[in-house]
Amino acid sequence: MLDEREVERLDVEAVNSAKTRQPLYAARKKIFPKRASGRFRQFKWLIMAVTLGIYYLTPWIRWDRGPYAPDQAVLLDIANRRFYFFPIEIWPQEFFYVAGLLVMAGIGLFLVTSTVGRAWCGYTCPQTVWVDLFLVVERAIEGDRNARIKLETAPWSASKLAKHICKHAIWVAIAVATGGAWIFYFADAPTLLVDFVTGQAAAVAYITVAVLAATTYVFGGLMREQVCTYMCPWPRIQAAMLDENSLTVTYNDWRGEPRSRHAKKAAAEGLSVGDCVDCNACVAVCPMGIDIRDGQQLECITCALCIDACDSVMDKIGKERGLISYATLADYQSNMAIATDPATGKIEPKRARENGKLNPGIAHFRLSRIFRLRTFIYAGAWSLIGVALLVALLSRDRLDINVLHDRNPQYVRLADGSIRNGYTVKLLNMVPEPRNIQLSIAGLPGATMTIVGVDEAPGRVMSVEVEPDKLKTIRVYVSQPLDQIKEGGTFEFVIKDMGGSETGTYVANFNAPEAGK
Amino acid sequence: MSEKHIDELSGVETTGHEWDGIRELNNPMPRWWLWTFYATIVWSAAYTIAYPAWPMITSATSGVLGFSSRADVSSELALAHGNKSAYLEAIRSDSLDQIMADPYLRQFATAAGSAAFKVNCVQCHGSGAQGSPGFPNLNDDEWLWGGNIAQIYKTIAHGIRFPGDEETHISEMPAFADILEPQQINEVAAYVVSLSGTPDTPDLVGAGAKVFADNCVACHGDDAKGNKELGAPDLTDAITLYGEGQAAIARQIRQPKHGVMPAWGARLGDVQVKELAIFVHSLGGGE
């Protein structure tokens, strides 16, 4: 176990601290985050691997849909207006499923934020993930914090130049790969890769990659925390999602203050001392350049790296972990009340302890805090939409009929006196297999139909071949003998998949001249 | 200029103006804003060089990139025409029966015919091809000059009673006012109406049948079903061209009206006439 004086004190300034915050027009002060290690860092590595894996690999997953549809598991086929997601195929008119998913994503963010705070920002936001990735490269080439600061202030030399070129080259490569992965969601990935490399791909592919590569490089490599602080609206919206029971990264000053580099000496002098040894480890690892000990701040993305940094120091000096921890405001306030001397109004960390251990009255996060009215409402709304979408998805039609009734002319009198109406019938075969669709008319006694292009005798039942995954437009003429015509005649077009069980109907009108004409 | 004034609290220079003791800080613009502003100036200058921009006396500068929205339209139109050319060539070289047998070509021809119809035919036949008295309804299954694809094609290509086309349909019905007595005309009109409905004067039908057999069967046939070679209409069906009822029929017997249709072959070319024929055939009455 180390003495607190043996804990190295890092020379670091929180550049975005509320106390020293720069005016907006001043040049940005660069942040050199130190490498952190611990359970949250481990967790972040895991999330990073999963999210990057999903992003880069998804377009390469194959999914056999037979010979009439692409075999890419996830494909946004803009040109043909089809969206494929594993076994699900979505036509443009079904895009509300995607809208529903976006609504679910929104409510899901509310739910997550109200329980575990800005977890989205700290772990899964692309900005966070890519900045982390860029930092890995930076660290591998230029070294950790101190080495990087040294390199930054060193005069230009061949080695400095080489390091810079190397770092930026790798950044650009990552950026291009990032932009490159995006386009594979919109076309067959293996084909597009070959086309792209050989210069055969469409201009829009190169432009998309260029734009996304540029934004990735600038946001992830150069702008970093400024994107979160100045550009992103989400941190500001999230404030409305947080309440006193939401987890946030909290510096527990009720046990940390007064901080001291010389705790033993101060204690010997009878002064009150907290657990914080003022080593600045929490500031050094912060990618946002803040000092968490200043309290909750707009800039904090709750990446929890300061928790890792502090925990390792607490381990070294033999104190309980959690001087910086995920805590709710309610817990923090109740602990603060315990630790505050009612007489002086000052923090007395002694009050939080009994026999050198934390007071049993000290509140810690309990899972039950997650279950409260607010989260139930969010979870309820989220599940409701999810169930509705699922039911709609499972019961949706893969065979559909739309009918446009001719209005000019409204009806045609034929030589035998019967009356004919014309219809433009659209048959939607929404499966990637050719289907033989039976079209029949129900109602309208005595009526028969003919289909333009089908050389069959007029009848009440016809069959139409519809290509896989296509809409087929046919012209249908329905005639009814004059003596059978009733005013306001309606009937049904009925379709049936001959090779399956799917059916569909459309109620159509039949126009006829007024009686006696 | 007033003297330089530094705000004590912020240490920032003020604009030097004062309103009731209130001064405005003269903070510099954020650098990103400033550089964006400069970039837009550079961009606008480059843009006016690259693209048509500056008005001159008779025209405008054309820009070094040579962009022109009019030229773009021309090239896009040329591309569209180019895409159609394979179909048009097929329609040119294939017979009507071959076109009708090819679903894609037939669909293309129908769509093209529909467009040509809207430009050339709607003036007489109506926008829905529904016709009007004197102008036949093309949707129905009554054809004066024949309703199969070849007959429709011939009628469109050479017209009806169109001077200047050797193959045009020329036959006409004589004016029976000069041949029959008025009473005979009333009788035969009653007979003709009786073939598809109820005449005003049923007692004249018997005499009318005699008049019909003597004067009309040469063209309209013994059964009054007409003759498409001569453009003689079927008198037994529910469709009339010049109005319904005994009076209208009698008028047509006395002094027949004869429609004229231009020969479109020379005007529109063979491809478009084929397309029109296929479109008209698709309207529901095609045989």
Per-residue DSSP letters for A211-238? HHHHHHIIIIIIITHHIIIII-SHHHHH
Cis? peptide before A258, omega within 30° of 0: yes
With 0-12 / 13-18 / 19 or more C-beta atoms within 10 angstroms meaning exposed / middle / buried, residue A499 is exposed
How far does CA B1 lie from the centroid of its chain? 74
What pLDDT does A1 receive? Answer: 60
Nearest CA in chain B to A454: B103
Query: Cβ separation of A415 and B30 shorter than 8 Å?
Result: no
Q: Which two tokens stand for residue A417?
A: 């006196």
Q: Over A128-184, what HEC string results?
A: HHHHHHHHHHHHHHHCCHHHHHHHHHCCCCHHHHHHHHHHHHHHHHHHHHHHHHHHC
Cis? peptide before B262, omega within 30° of 0: no
What pLDDT does B149 receive? Answer: 95
What digits encode the pLDDT tens for the residues B229-260?
999 999 999 899 998 889 999 999 999 999 99
pTM for the full predicted model: 0.80
Query: Cβ separation of A25 and B137 shorter than 8 Å?
Result: no
| Cβ atoms of residues A409 and B128 within 8 Å | yes
**Considering only CB atoms, which residues of chain A are within 8 Å of chain B?**
23-25, 27, 406-409, 412-417, 420, 422, 450, 452-453, 475, 477, 482
Helix (H, G, I), strand (E, B) or coil at B14: strand
CA–CA separation, A300 and A122 (whole Å): 9
Phi, psi of A442 (to 5 degrees): -115, 135
With contacts defined as CB-CB under 8 Å, which chain A residues touch B147? none
What pLDDT does B241 receive? Answer: 92
With 0-12 / 13-18 / 19 or more C-beta atoms within 10 angstroms meaning exposed / middle / buried, residue B21 is exposed
What digits encode the pLDDT tens for the residues A450-500?
998 888 889 999 999 999 999 999 999 999 998 888 877 899 999 999 988
With contacts defined as CB-CB under 8 Å, which chain A residues touch B126? 408-409
Q: Which two tokens stand for residue A125?
A: 């936001």
Write the DSSP assignment of A414-448 as a string of letters.
-TTS-EEEEEEEEEEE-SSS-EEEEEEEESSTT-E
What pLDDT does A347 receive? Answer: 83
Query: Cβ separation of B137 and A412 shorter than 8 Å?
Result: yes
Q: At what angle do helices B270-282 and B149-158 cross, to 10 degrees?
A: 130
What pLDDT does A328 receive? Answer: 92
State the alpha helices, DSSP H only, in chain B: 31-50, 69-93, 96-101, 103-120, 122-125, 149-158, 182-196, 205-215, 217-220, 246-254, 265-268, 270-282
Query: Cβ separation of A415 and B234 shorter than 8 Å?
Result: yes
What pLDDT does A27 receive? Answer: 73
With contacts defined as CB-CB under 8 Å, which chain B residues touch A482? 238
Nearest CA in chain A to B284: A477
What is the amino acid identity at position B240? Answer: T
With contacts defined as CB-CB under 8 Å, which chain B residues touch A25? 27-31
Nearest CA in chain A to B29: A25
Q: How many C-alpha atoms does B272 have within 13 Å on its Cβ side?
A: 15
Helix (H, G, I), strand (E, B) or coil at A69: coil
CA–CA separation, B183 and B204 (whole Å): 9
What pLDDT does A455 receive? Answer: 81
| Cβ atoms of residues A103 and A195 within 8 Å | no
Residue A251 has a CB neighbour count (10 Å cut-off) of 24
How far does CA A370 lie from the centroid of its chain? 22
Write the DSSP assignment of B39-97 as a string of letters.
HHHHHHHHHHHHSS--B-SSSB---TT---HHHHHHHHHHHHHHHHHHHHHHHHHS-HH
What digits encode the pLDDT tens for the residues B130-154?
999 999 999 999 999 999 999 999 9
CA–CA separation, A172 and A166 (whole Å): 10
Most distant pair of Cα atoms in chain B: their distance:
123
Low-confidence ranges of chain A (pLDDT < 50): none
CA–CA separation, A241 and B102 (whole Å): 63
What digits encode the pLDDT tens for the residues B44-98?
999 999 999 999 999 888 889 989 889 899 999 999 999 999 999 999 999 999 9
